[in-house]
Structure 1
């Protein structure tokens, strides 16, 4: 697993490239030798053991930088303890509600402001470990020695969901499920013949990140870890270090797509997008900015709870259909967002409310059976039982269709279904492609009507007549609400919290109606 793979890297391995200064190791000129990461992990494990962490215990990791988080969970798993990874962006009250009544958590690793507030945030936990103290102690600790880890169904790491519908849920993953999902990604990378740094700018505590780190280590591929996802920093780092692979959240890609003409993506041959749907115009902008003739953008549909379910590839130069096919394509998009064919190892069923399988092409609840499935929610066992009866078919919470050939189409989340159209996501795909000046667009159903909410890119204006012409062909909608992008409530992975947005719009007048 991750600890073992770090130790097995050759001494002359390509350095990690980072845009931050970690606490546990020093970065020089944006670079850290992997041997120093491995050494820090082995000594940190010994240090944490001296602070009382023992096998089987759960330990909260509430740190800032991706590098520090990787070292922390590698060291904790080396002790056969279980890291509980919490996003540094979580407010204290939300973090407290997530771990309330969860047993087995005996320690919190944090630093600075989060350490100062941890005692109030987690009053039932008796041990608070200052990460800066651990870093200062490292030279005095020996490297831990342990047997090689064997993947099993035992708990390996606890991550959390994005929290699109409320308080994030804590998802326990076994080492077997993490390893399986990492092998899938490693195979994709091998088939793509990626040779160069793999850049990640994704939530450092998400299950997707743990899988991505392990997949890169499996292939001994050098990593580039970005903590600051602002367009200015990303533009600087990509132009300086020229990675071949780039992955972030789809909404973050959208905030970066204006960098394409300036050459930020010239070196990228493979764009990876998970977490949420990525809209067609964003895909086109990314691929257009690559110098590689056969650059590809790959959407992987999956969840923390399931691992990868379906995959869809976009090859450079194939995004814009010829004029004769545009109407057919628009009609298809109105029926939902194509997610591609299911992975061969993943079984997908579309069922009605009673659980009976519906005919091909008929919308329904999407349930899956996959080897990469998680172990359960440790803070919401009731939802585990509800969504995963008999530990066989997991209810994804998505509403969609499956074709006779196994191709998946996402219509909407089950809780976000709209009645005024087939698919709210489909409308968003079409309009965002039509209006590149929109930084964000969400179609909500409020009081029985479709309500578009959007934000504009800086320096652009809303085109009223063009909007009326384009939107009128799709569905009956009210006048759009335009708000600053910062007013969209988002999860730690950039997803829009639609229920919170509805509540905000209902409670306050935050914008001007045109």
Structure 2
């Protein structure tokens, strides 16, 4: 089977992640998968696998899950310590017809308890570390059973003890039924559970299949995104079907990342915007960890032009580009654009791209006040295509509120230029009176002050525009340099500096702006 044949099959029958490893092995069984850590559930597997071995391990884990009592149509929550085995276990659940529910290991016990209740007696697949975290959660009443991926705990079934279980035939779920459930970032409270089907997952591969086609040689693809995110489904599917060697990473620290990039020399890197920001310092590493990179790719959130420029200049590849995709869990990739070495630093960071051709998502901007959306009067950004998620589990009314026929309201505001470029200015809930775009201010100021590692403009206690800053090594900010950098933004108040470790973040490292704003509002209310 060729990769293109497998891809066409997915477009017709949907993406079933339980079948993907087997399909990829049929395309090329020797495609290598390298890890930067050991697998918790299969420590004997080592860090160097072929796709054929990977598929065999998934089949083995599926047999163990069946022996543990998991059956088709059952929801299986994966809440465990970050590890590449998460994706293998998800594929194994899918392989026997279960519905995968991916929960971020960054969630707290209270949030997990709420989501377990919403899922109505799921199986919980976890590990000892997370069971300790959930010690005060009444799991016996909230779950059907508890399975541990490695160590055994009282009241649970251990997959380790089920090694050698008889293999079972794959069970393929209907193309429009729930296949994988992920959750939103939770920037505004309890995360929503987003239901993806085999059809919606398959459709989302379309624009990214073309992006990977830019790589003519079978060079290494480095993937460093949360294993629980819907983006991981697309990233792994595309890389394996295209027969690219995969470097699957968990570590995000610059020192560890540099070692992996120097050793494996990836041509394509998929990572979070905030990870790329953290790795900027590696651009000055004399070992050139980014020297081999042809394509940098990021979704999740807009990325600052200065970061893209610095990374591109650290590549030794002719025609290196940074491809940014704008989208969200509910809609997948919506628009995209490429940035190049000699122009990225001059780019408008609010221009997140153009609609992608041939069957990809359509975009429109709808008026908020009856007037035509524009740069000074942004409208609601909406997306339409067959890749939109099916529903929010247990919150259909909330889903319906965001959907009007085929159009999905993203919650972002912006406008389109006469050339069709979509400019995303802010999340609707983050808008500040008198500020055109908080994100634009952050782009401009960060490009001027290299000592800043983060800048977040949030509503202050009196709805003023409050800049919260973090610096390299948490050093005090030179206020004169600050005032010179923000002279064109008189609406900003004096900045508040906090340690970077104190920034509240989501599982994909987005700053939780509402939580940050509440922090300063509560401080104002505290008695002196």
* TM-score calculated relative to the size of structure 2: 0.88
Aligned partner of 1:424 in structure 2 is 438
1:208 aligned to which of 219, 226, 231:
231
SS of 1:140's partner is coil
**2:498 matched to 1:473?**
no
Report the CA distance shift for 1:440/1:359 in structure 2 as closer, same or farther (over 3 A): closer
Aligned partner of 2:292 in structure 1 is 267
Aligned partner of 2:55 in structure 1 is 38
Q: Which moved more, 1:264-273 or 1:460-469?
A: 460-469
CA contact (8 A) 2:67 2:162 kept: no
- Note the C-alpha offset of 1:312: 1.3
CA distance in 2, matches of 1:360, 1:412: 14
CA distance in 1, matches of 2:510, 2:471: 17
Aligned partner of 2:33 in structure 1 is 16
1:230 aligned to which of 247, 253, 257:
253
1:442 aligned to which of 451, 456, 467:
456
Q: Note the 1:326-337 alignment, pairs <5 A.
A: 333=348, 337=350
Aligned partner of 2:362 in structure 1 is 347
Q: Which moved more, 1:120-129 or 1:408-417?
A: 120-129
1:142 aligned to which of 139, 158, 166:
166
SS of 2:81's partner is coil
Report the CA distance shift for 1:379/1:257 in structure 2 as closer, same or farther (over 3 A): farther
* TM-score calculated relative to the size of structure 1: 0.90
SS of 2:194's partner is strand
Q: Which moved more, 1:23-32 or 1:377-386?
A: 23-32
- Note the C-alpha offset of 1:452: 0.6
Q: Note the 1:272-311 alignment, pairs <5 A.
A: 272-311=297-336
- Note the C-alpha offset of 1:115: 3.1
**2:488 matched to 1:463?**
no
Aligned partner of 2:468 in structure 1 is 453
Q: Note the 1:76-225 alignment, pairs <5 A.
A: 76-103=93-120, 105-116=121-132, 118=134, 120-121=136-137, 122=139, 123-132=141-150, 135-137=159-161, 139-146=163-170, 149=172, 152-193=175-216, 195-225=218-248
Q: Which moved more, 1:369-378 or 1:500-509?
A: 500-509
User: Per-residue displacement from partner, 1:290-325 (whole Å, max 9, x unpaired)?
Assistant: 11121111110001100111101111222244xxxx
CA distance in 1, matches of 2:424, 2:430: 12
CA contact (8 A) 1:18 1:27 kept: no
CA distance in 2, matches of 1:338, 1:183: 22
Total equivalences in the alignment: 493
Aligned partner of 1:413 in structure 2 is 427
- Root-mean-square deviation (Å): 2.2
SS of 2:22's partner is helix
Aligned partner of 1:326 in structure 2 is none
Aligned partner of 2:397 in structure 1 is 382
Aligned partner of 2:501 in structure 1 is 486
CA contact (8 A) 1:180 1:371 kept: yes
- Note the C-alpha offset of 1:222: 2.0
CA contact (8 A) 2:474 2:500 kept: no
CA contact (8 A) 2:18 2:95 kept: yes
Report the CA distance shift for 1:150/1:109 in structure 2 as closer, same or farther (over 3 A): closer
- Note the C-alpha offset of 1:145: 2.6
CA distance in 1, matches of 2:30, 2:44: 16
2:86 aligned to which of 69, 83, 89:
69
CA distance in 1, matches of 2:174, 2:299: 25
CA distance in 2, matches of 1:65, 1:129: 16
CA distance in 1, matches of 2:74, 2:433: 47
- Note the C-alpha offset of 1:358: 3.2
User: Per-residue displacement from partner, 1:68-92 (whole Å, max 9, x unpaired)?
Assistant: 1111111111111101011112111
Aligned partner of 2:387 in structure 1 is 372
- Note the C-alpha offset of 1:156: 0.8
CA distance in 1, matches of 2:474, 2:432: 32
- Note the C-alpha offset of 1:411: 0.7
2:68 aligned to which of 46, 51, 73:
51
SS of 2:213's partner is helix
CA contact (8 A) 1:216 1:222 kept: yes
SS of 1:313's partner is strand
- Note the C-alpha offset of 1:2: 2.7
CA contact (8 A) 1:174 1:375 kept: yes
CA distance in 2, matches of 1:150, 1:292: 43
SS of 1:252's partner is helix
Report the CA distance shift for 1:144/1:217 in structure 2 as closer, same or farther (over 3 A): farther
Aligned partner of 2:77 in structure 1 is 60
Aligned partner of 2:12 in structure 1 is none
Ranges of 4+ aligned residues in structure 1 off by more than 6 Å:
none
